[in-house]
A and B are shown apart, each in its own frame.
Chain A
Amino acid sequence: MKSDLDGVVTKLIILSSKRIMPGELLSKIYSLKKDLIVKETCFGAEVSGKKDDVEDALREARSLDPYGVFVKERGFLPGDPRRCRATRAGARPGFHQIELEVERLPLIAKALSEYERGALLRREEGEELNLSAGRFKEIIEDTLKDMSV
C-alpha cells in the first residue's frame, strides 16, 4: 500500500568543518527555494523532501566545504515524535554510531582532501608509514656522508 511519504527521502548532513556553521548551511539550502523540510541541528541539518530536491540541496551543501560535509540517509522524517529526543528519554537510536564516527570525521576529511589532491598512495600490506629508527639513522648517515664529500 502506498502512502504520502512515498518518494520522500530524508538525509542527515553532518558537519566537520572549520569553514561553515549549521546556520550558514541552512541559509544556503533555503536560498535554493526548494520544497524541502529543513531542520537545523547542533551537528548540521536534516533535509527532507523529494529525491531530486534533496540531491540539489546536498550538492549545494557540499559546495560550501567539499571535504567537511558528510551525508547519510535517515529513515524517519525530521522531528518525528517516534525518534525525536524532545518526546523521548535518552539518546535516539543511531546516536551512538554517529558519536563514534563524528570523532573520526576530521581525520577522514583531511585524508579525503589529500586523496583528491593526488597526495596519497596505497600502503602495501604490512608496510609501515612511520619512519623506523633504523631508516632514520641511515638517512642521517647518508646526509653526513654527502656533507663531508
Chain B
Amino acid sequence: MVKVLVYPANSLILADLVERFGHEPLSVQQEIREKISAPGLDSPPLNITPDDPKIGLRYAAVEVPSGVRGRMALIGPLIEEAEAAVVVHDPDPTFGCMGCARTNELVNFLIRARKIPLLELKYPSTEDDARDFVVRVAEFLKSLENGK
C-alpha cells in the first residue's frame, strides 16, 4: 500500500479511486480531523494554533500572503508524507474565493520537486474522457503496487 496524495486535496473521485485500487489516499480532511481531535481549537481551518504559522513558513516566506501559509500548514505535511501523487489540473473550485491560485502553484511545484511518481489529468466531461481518466488512474495505481 502506497500513500498517494490527491489534488484537489479534498477530491471525492480521486480519493475513492485511490482507495478502490488498494492504496491510502492523503487528503486534507485527515489533517483537519487531527486538528479537531486536539483540544483548544474551535473552528479549524479558520482558527490556527501557534505552531501552524511555523509549519507554513517551512514552505512559503513571511511576505507571502498569510492565506498561502495557512493552507500550506495543512497541505505541506501531506506532500512530505506522500509516496506518489495524482493531480487534476484547474478544477473550478480551486479558482476564485474558495481557492487560492498561489497555493495551487506552490503545491504543484512542491509535488514536482519531490520527484515522486506523479499522474497529471483533467476532469472528464465526456464518456470517452471518463474511460481514459479511469484507465490512466488504474494503471498508475497498479504500477505503484508493482514498484515500477
Residues of A bordering B, CB below 8 Å? 1-3, 5-6, 8-10, 12, 14, 70-76, 80, 82, 94, 96-98, 100-102, 104-105, 107-108, 110-112, 114-115, 120-123, 129-130
Which B residues are CB-close (under 8 A) to A96? 92-93, 98
Interface of B is mostly: helix
Cβ contact within 8 Å between B38 and A75: no
Cβ contact within 8 Å between A9 and B33: yes
Residues of B bordering A, CB below 8 Å? 8, 10-13, 15-17, 19-20, 25, 27-33, 35-40, 42-44, 91-93, 98, 123-136, 138-139
Tell me the nearest residue of chain B to A62, going by C-beta. B20
Instruction: Point out which of B10, B29, B124, B131 has the most chain A C-beta atoms below 10 A from its C-beta.
Output: B131
Given contacts A76-B32, A100-B93, 16 further A-B contacts (CB under 8 A): A1-B40, A5-B33, A6-B37, A72-B12, A73-B33, A75-B28, A76-B36, A94-B10, A97-B11, A98-B12, A101-B11, A108-B130, A108-B134, A111-B134, A120-B131, A120-B134
Number of A-B contacts (CB under 8 A): 121
A121 to B138, CA, bound (A): 11
Cβ contact within 8 Å between A122 and B132: yes
Tell me the nearest residue of chain A to B94, going by C-beta. A97
Interface of A is mostly: mixed
Residue among A74, A98, A110 making CB contact with B130, cutoff 8 Å: A110
Cβ contact within 8 Å between B29 and A74: yes
A28 to B125, CA, bound (A): 33
